[in-house]
Chains A and B, each alone.
Chain A
Amino acid sequence: MAVSKSFLGPNDKITTSQAAIFLNNAMLGAGILTLPRSVSESVKTPDSWISVLVGGLIAILVVVLMLKLSLRFPGKTVFQYTSAVIGRYPGMIWCLILVFYYIVIAGFEIRAMAEVTMYYLLEGTPIWAITIPFIWLGAYLVIGGIDAIARVSQIVFPISLCILILSYLLSLRLFELDNLRPILGDGLGPVIHGLKSTVLVYSGCEVVMTLTAQLENPKQALKAVLTGVGIPIGLYLFTVIMVIGGVSVDSAVTSTWPTIDLVRSFEVTGFLFERFEFLLMVIWLMQMFCNYSCFFYNSSLGLSQLFKLPYKAVIFALVPVIFLVTMIPQNMNELFGLGDAIGYLSILLFLLFPVFLSLLALMRFGGGGGARHEKS
């Protein structure tokens, strides 16, 4: 007879598949619409897909590192264990930077969403009318905790995945292999140069450091994390290949939202929708909602854990803050500038810091890790 689990206990743990999808949704956001342009801009050759791939491999390494670090402190999020590693005040400062980073990235995603919506769906609508309901809805979801977010992600992701793949498959008729040639025509230089712009799309993987604490089954954490990182890498790679192959490097660079432009450039006659970019965009709105909710959740969780504040109050307080961040970029160029800045910050914070923190933790607590530390 199986031991019955409690029926009505509070549910703030997530299953392995939920963790994978949660991580996946934290990484899949507006990036898919802009990545082909941003990466082509810096690579300038058709090799951008190699940059994406290499960037992805680096992201996997970093994520695994962050996972190993977090697993030393079972049941604790990054906001709780950092001070144990590097001391109270440095830890707090670092966590505040982390929270700030999450808020900015949430604002960035919303703004990008609003720009796409205003451009394609609701011309002439004031931007606040688009962003505020979106933020409110996010707050409603985030109050439900990680469990609710993971559920919504699990509903939204399969839908958006299907539509995305369908759109790409339909765009195969535009695909020309010549657009992707020559491979490594200018050597490895452009590829390395392009790495920094791929970092932005992979930023978001930092949620691993809070996610690990909420796993129902931490033994499968590695599996969850690898799946969660693998799916976005695959999708990003696929996106870049399809877009560059479909519209060539030159037009990818000049277009604001190259992925949408790719889907826009063909019509499927005799179907209910002749134009798929609309469907893709509508579905991607939902994906961006999940994406933004992840960051909203992480920032409010961080603040409430750092300062022992009530979780709900933090969420309400963050609503206007996120709105203000959303409104700060004055035009698209500044928005993309902000995106680049997030990318650089991301390199600093999340490529270097986990390494540093891991080393420090290794030195201070030895190989055994946090279990012993937990009791002290």
Chain B
Amino acid sequence: MLSSIQSHIPSWTVFFQAFIALVIPILIYRVYVRLDNLGEDKLSSSGSANIESSRDPLVADYDDNMQLIKSRIGANSDVVIREVTVGGVVKAALIYVKGMQEDHLLNMRIIQSLKEMDAQIPEQIMERFPGSSAHAVSSATEFSQGILIGFMALIIDGRKEGLLITPPQCPSREVSEPVSESLLRGSRIGFTEDLSINTALLRKQGLSEDLQIRSCLVGQTIQRELAIAYMDHIVNPDLLREVNDRVAQIKLDYIAESGYIEQFIEDNYLSPFQQVQNTERPDRVIAALLEGRVAILLDGTPFALIVPVTFSMLLQSPEDYFERWLPGTLLRMLRFGAAFISLMAPSLYISFISFHPGLIPTELALTIIETRQGVPFPALIEVLILEISIEILREAGIRLPKPIGPAMGIVGGLVIGEAAVQAGIVSPFLVIVVAATAISSFSIPVYSAGITLRILRFAAMLFAAILGMYGTILFFLLIVCHLSKLKSFGVPYISPFTPYRWSDWKDFFVRVPIFLMKKRPKLMKTMQSKRK
């Protein structure tokens, strides 16, 4: 008995392996916790740098006011100060930023009317300007900021407040078709860089009193307007509060693009998967709002953010709903397949070629081996060569001037591919695999989701190169485990796949006819479950 126990005590090597098995995960965990804590700091580190609310009011004396304004913004070469006299007696000044006021005729008219105005009753000046465009401001900070935003401003001697007249007409791009999300069928309207146009585009999607848009300023050195849009009575209040909280916690001197916001509010910054969806399409935003999600729009970028997001949403395209349900369903399934190919195809190739050639049909195996005969590299190196050059080509393609783009595609794709095969560096079968992979990754409707899959593909290739098919399975399981743990604003990233909610599956792999989709997604825990 004792001896049989003794014979079963593993050898020292096994104990050593066990020790290694213990130490490595602990180390990885430590590093992970460290990195994660860094992420915790991103929201709270820079302390309470509140914008100082010290009000420096404008005074009644014209010269003092001018002094104040000049010291604040007068040194800028693009700030224009034109001094005039109202009614020929009272001193006044028009201040504006060049380029923000395009209507020269209006400027002339304002100056003209100021000169002709009766100087004795300055209170009436307000009323002489048309409509609601003019409003009075008493704080110098607000006044000078108003000028910088693009208002034309007026100060008059003897008045304690400045007037902001004629709102900015700063140059903006025309509304055009969204470049990154073009559709064959569906509206051709994309967001622009102007927040007010963007919110107007949202409103123009349809009439609803429930559509709420709240805006605030973000950024500490340079401030920008940010708008949070949601549907009242549909959105879950917890979600809305969470979004507001996270946005309010952003501490950054300048927010250049909505990508900055995305990186600040996402749940897990170490995950390769994006937890916030970005889109240029107003119709997409509205559809998301109706599902109970929340949109974040930032001035200065055409990309709106939508939270929360799940993995399946990244594979949906508005066209799925615009086409009839059968093509919509098939196209969507095709996209799921394409995502799988773009993630796994090269690693499957590696594991089959270098580990299990016996598992593919014999004739196919023979053909592949025949074509690989001259190739001097192991499968991993062979795939890496081609994959990396494709990635470089793709990256270069973005930067190429439009007339050269297609030409470079031909040179890069066809000529190099063909030449590499001819030269015996890679096998023609691999060229097919890599090309199919690259094309598949373009079929994913959200560009940034495609990038994620591209990154993970390389990890999958490494797993496959080390452990073959077993490694590929481990990689797949790793991804599945990670996705199961990931959440986007409290919504499990992998839902509606699990837990099974059949009503949500109507819009998952398949897209059932629209008259059957009567309920809002359960996973958003909306306040109204029925689509009225």
Partners in one complex: yes
Interface residues of A (CB under 8 A from B): 1-2, 4-9, 11, 14-15, 17-18, 117, 121-122, 125, 128-130, 132-137, 139-141, 144, 147-148, 150-152, 154-156, 269, 271-275, 278, 282, 285-286, 289, 312, 316-317, 319-321, 323-324, 327-328, 330
Q: How far apart are the CA atoms of A280 and B344 in the complex, in Å?
A: 18
B480 on interface, CB distance cutoff 8 Å: yes
Count chain A CB atoms within 10 A of each CB in B26, B239, B356, B474 and give the residue with the most.
B474
Task: Tell me which residues across on chain B come within 8 A of A15, comparing CB atoms.
Answer: 499-500
From A117, A144, A269, A328, contact of B485 by CB (8 A):
A144
B253 on interface, CB distance cutoff 8 Å: no
* Majority secondary structure, A binding face: helix
Contact B499 A316 (CB under 8 A): no
Contact B26 A316 (CB under 8 A): yes
A121-B356, A148-B485 as given contacts; A7 in contact with B242, CB under 8 Å: yes
Contact B476 A286 (CB under 8 A): yes
From A4, A122, A286, contact of B477 by CB (8 A):
A286
Q: How many Å from the CB of B440 to the closest CB on chain A? A: 17
Q: How far apart are the CA atoms of A219 and B244 in the complex, in Å?
A: 37
13 contacts between A and B (CB under 8 A): A4-B527, A8-B238, A128-B21, A132-B21, A134-B474, A144-B485, A148-B485, A151-B492, A272-B361, A273-B361, A278-B356, A319-B22, A320-B22
Contact B17 A17 (CB under 8 A): no
Q: How many Å from the CB of A266 to the closest CB on chain B? A: 14
Contact B499 A17 (CB under 8 A): yes
Closest B residue, CB atoms, query A268: B361
Q: How far apart are the CA atoms of A278 and B365 in the complex, in Å?
A: 16
From B19, B236, B490, B498, contact of A320 by CB (8 A):
B19
Per-residue A-contact encoding for B83-125, CB less than 8 Å = 1, 0 else: 0000000000000000000000000000000000000000000
Closest B residue, CB atoms, query A8: B490
Q: How far apart are the CA atoms of A286 and B472 in the complex, in Å?
A: 11
From B355, B470, B498, contact of A155 by CB (8 A):
B498
Q: How many Å from the CB of A188 to the closest CB on chain B? A: 36
Contact B25 A319 (CB under 8 A): yes
Contact B18 A323 (CB under 8 A): yes
A1-B527, A7-B238, A136-B25 as given contacts; A285 in contact with B499, CB under 8 Å: no
Q: How many Å from the CB of A2 to the closest CB on chain B? A: 6
Closest A residue, CB atoms, query B471: A133
A122-B355, A139-B25 as given contacts; A7 in contact with B10, CB under 8 Å: no
Q: How many Å from the CB of A92 to the closest CB on chain B? A: 25
Q: How far apart are the CA atoms of A121 and B357 in the complex, in Å?
A: 11
Interface residues of B (CB under 8 A from A): 7-8, 10, 14-15, 17-22, 24-26, 29, 236-239, 242, 355-356, 359-362, 467-470, 473-474, 476-478, 480-481, 484-485, 489-492, 494, 497-500, 525, 527-529
Contact B499 A150 (CB under 8 A): yes
Q: How far apart are the CA atoms of A128 and B17 in the complex, in Å?
A: 7
A7-B490, A150-B499, A316-B25 as given contacts; A121 in contact with B470, CB under 8 Å: yes
Contact A122 B468 (CB under 8 A): yes
Contact A136 B359 (CB under 8 A): no
A133-B474, A330-B8 as given contacts; A155 in contact with B25, CB under 8 Å: no
Closest B residue, CB atoms, query A278: B359
Q: How far apart are the CA atoms of A148 and B494 in the complex, in Å?
A: 10
Q: How far apart are the CA atoms of A275 and B491 in the complex, in Å?
A: 40
A130-B470, A152-B481, A323-B21 as given contacts; A274 in contact with B356, CB under 8 Å: no
Task: Tell me which residues across on chain A come within 8 A of B528, comparing CB atoms.
Answer: 1-2
Q: How many Å from the CB of B334 to the closest CB on chain A? A: 18
Q: How many Å from the CB of A169 to the closest CB on chain B? A: 20
A1-B528, A2-B527, A278-B359 as given contacts; A151 in contact with B8, CB under 8 Å: no
A7-B242, A17-B499, A328-B10 as given contacts; A148 in contact with B468, CB under 8 Å: no
| New A-B contacts (8) at CB < 8 Å, excluding given A144-B484, A273-B359 | A4-B525, A7-B491, A8-B238, A155-B484, A282-B469, A320-B21, A320-B22, A327-B10
Q: How many Å from the CB of B495 to the closest CB on chain A? A: 9
Contact B497 A4 (CB under 8 A): no
A7-B239, A154-B499, A155-B498 as given contacts; A121 in contact with B355, CB under 8 Å: yes
Q: How far apart are the CA atoms of A125 and B21 in the complex, in Å?
A: 17
Task: Tell me which residues across on chain A come within 8 A of B10, comparing CB atoms.
Answer: 324, 327-328
Contact B238 A121 (CB under 8 A): no
Q: How many Å from the CB of A134 to the closest CB on chain B? A: 7
Task: Tell me which residues across on chain B come within 8 A of A141, comparing CB atoms.
Answer: 481, 484-485
Contact A135 B478 (CB under 8 A): no
Contact B21 A275 (CB under 8 A): no
Closest B residue, CB atoms, query A9: B490
Q: How far apart are the CA atoms of A271 and B500 in the complex, in Å?
A: 32
Q: How many Å from the CB of A13 to the closest CB on chain B? A: 10
Q: How many Å from the CB of B29 to the closest CB on chain A? A: 7
Task: Tell me which residues across on chain A come within 8 A of B468, comparing CB atoms.
Answer: 121-122
Q: How far apart are the CA atoms of A303 and B19 in the complex, in Å?
A: 20
Task: Tell me which residues across on chain A come within 8 A of B477, comparing CB atoms.
Answer: 137, 152, 156, 286, 289
Q: How many Å from the CB of A11 to the closest CB on chain B? A: 8
Contact A155 B480 (CB under 8 A): yes
Contact A140 B478 (CB under 8 A): yes
Contact A155 B497 (CB under 8 A): yes
Contact A4 B499 (CB under 8 A): no
Count chain A CB atoms within 10 A of each CB in B25, B467, B525 and give the residue with the most.
B25
Task: Tell me which residues across on chain A come within 8 A of B476, comparing CB atoms.
Answer: 286
Q: How many Å from the CB of B18 to the closest CB on chain A? A: 4
Task: Tell me which residues across on chain B come within 8 A of A5, comparing CB atoms.
Answer: 525
Q: In the A-B complex, list the 4 residue pairs whose CB atoms are closest, starting with the nearest.
A: A154-B498, A151-B484, A320-B18, A7-B490
Q: How far apart are the CA atoms of A320 and B160 in the complex, in Å?
A: 77
Task: Tell me which residues across on chain A come within 8 A of B15, comparing CB atoms.
Answer: 324
Task: Tell me which residues across on chain B come within 8 A of A289, comparing CB atoms.
Answer: 477
